[in-house]
């Protein structure tokens, strides 16, 4: 909601009687909404999964060096673990020693 007087964003506040009102931080105007709706957001959590040996043969292989054994072949997969405006996370699993690591770039 926006202030009718100065067009700034109205923020919810409670008045002295505990009722919710919308107030403008810029000009101080306040008003109560007749159609106040409280929305609760419960984000859905993604399921965690594991990559085991029998699934590795289905994953693509890249020439990424393992930080543990320095072998230059690794399975990889990509998952969006952060906000949508950030790049996805790349996960790697060494073909030789099976060490798993990630790359956020």
What local confidence, expressed as pLDDT, does residue 6 receive?
Answer: 87
At residue 67, does pLDDT exceed 70?
Answer: yes
pLDDT-derived band at 50, boundaries 50, 70, 90: low
The residue with tokens 């984000």 is 43
Q: Which two tokens stand for residue 103?
A: 């790359």
Q: Is the pLDDT of residue 78 over 80?
A: yes
Tell me, what's the pLDDT at 93?
92
Strand order from edge to edge, sheet including 10-14? 10-14, 20-24, 30-31
Going from the N-terminus, what domains does the chain have, and what CATH number goes with each? 1-41 (2.20.25.10), 53-103 (2.20.25.10)
pLDDT beyond 80 at 85? yes
β-bridge mates for residue 13, sequence order = 21
What pLDDT does 47 receive? 56
User: Which residues form the catalytic set?
Assistant: 85-86
Residue 98: count of CB within 10 angstroms of its CB: 16
Q: Which residue has the tokens 């159609």?
A: 35
Give yes or no for a contact between 68 and 97, defined as CB atoms under 8 angstroms apart. yes
> What average pLDDT is seen over the chain?
80
The answer to whether 69 and 81 are in contact (CB under 8 A) is no
pLDDT in tens, 19-43: 778 888 888 888 776 665 656 666 6
């Amino acid at each position: 909601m926006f202030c009718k007087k100065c067009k700034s964003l109205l923020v919810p506040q409670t008045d002295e009687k505990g009722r919710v009102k919308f107030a403008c931080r810029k000009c101080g105007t306040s008003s109560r909404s007749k159609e106040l709706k409280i929305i609760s957001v419960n984000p859905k959590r993604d399921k965690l999964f594991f990559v085991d040996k029998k699934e590795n043969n289905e994953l693509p292989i890249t020439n990424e060096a393992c930080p543990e054994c320095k072998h230059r072949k690794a399975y990889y997969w990509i998952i969006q673990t952060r906000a949508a405006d950030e790049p996805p996370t790349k996960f790697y699993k060494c073909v030789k020693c099976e060490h798993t690591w990630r790359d956020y770039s």
